[in-house]
Structure 1
């Protein structure tokens, strides 16, 4: 496993290298999808941190605190590519190729339509703060089903 910070650093460095910038909203969802699809494709989680079912979609709390000063603005932190093995690097490039074209808002809406976030939110009102953990087993089952339908 690698850390959520390593995944975030990869996406930020990759985006900058390609003339793009990422907001915290988009970054959180990119890390979420990277973890979800690694779980489906490899049978194990990419990161050891949990995602919480916040109002605007899945969030890793430690990443939120790291980048909260940027609010909805692009994250301009100068980061380098982390040391990752080929499997992780290839996976993250694939995730960026698929999900990087969407805005943070579009990615938020996608997660709001998917079972892992919906189930974790439970009876929380749409605008209610929620710290419920998104279950990785639910994530695995849901995205495995999505993959089978493609």
Structure 2
């Protein structure tokens, strides 16, 4: 199971530099992930979700404004889905385009890719399906029910703070 235990640069804990982080767009985050490798739409969605979740947890503010909904296959940002849905199950090609993103935001993207990038879309889907933010947003729904329920930021912070703290104690 992939976990992010510590986000540090030059010995400085990123939780201590909360004020230096600024909001970017989900499109920029997706473009940044696509500079690392080609990937399916499902994998891209989940990596963007984990970037959002870890940024929110560590900095106590969102990486971007778009919210994730608890879809059948895990957290999905609807606008990102619309942008890349034409690829279906095929890989979105790797990109060499420039990405405009504040350094701290790119650090989160990079660390999320280092921690989760080796997993495929199905493995990332499974991972999100056993985590409380997605489970809570789908509470009371049938397994195959369509949902537009948003994942709750407070639940995300609470869950990943616990994961972070447990990882620090291992």
Normalised by the length of structure 1, the TM-score is 0.93
| 1:89 Cα offset (Å) | 1.4
For 1:17-36, what aligned pairs fall within 5 Å after superposition? 21-36=38-53
Correspondent of 1:63 among 67, 80, 95: 80
CA contact under 8 A between 1:9 and 1:79: conserved in structure 2? no
Extract structure 1 runs of 4+ deviating beyond 3 A.
none
For 1:38-117, what aligned pairs fall within 5 Å after superposition? 38-76=55-93, 78=95, 80-117=97-134
Work out the CA distance in 2 between the residues paired with 1:97 and 1:91.
Answer: 10
Return the index of the structure with the highest Cα Rg: 2
Correspondent of 1:11 among 25, 29, 33: 33
Work out the CA distance in 1 between the residues paired with 2:120 and 2:77.
Answer: 18
User: Which blocks of at least 5 consecutive residues in structure 1 are unaligned?
Assistant: 16-20
SS in 2 for 1:53: strand
CA root-mean-square deviation = 1.2
CA contact under 8 A between 1:11 and 1:92: conserved in structure 2? yes
Aligned pair count reads 145
CA contact under 8 A between 2:39 and 2:94: conserved in structure 1? no
Work out the CA distance in 2 between the residues paired with 1:128 and 1:70.
Answer: 23
Quick one: structure 1 residues 79 and 50, their matched pair in 2 at CA, closer, same or farther if it must change by over 3 Å?
A: farther
Work out the CA distance in 1 between the residues paired with 2:113 and 2:95.
Answer: 19
User: Which blocks of at least 5 consecutive residues in structure 2 are unaligned?
Assistant: 1-22
Quick one: structure 1 residues 115 and 45, their matched pair in 2 at CA, closer, same or farther if it must change by over 3 Å?
A: same
SS in 2 for 1:58: strand
Work out the CA distance in 1 between the residues paired with 2:119 and 2:98.
Answer: 22
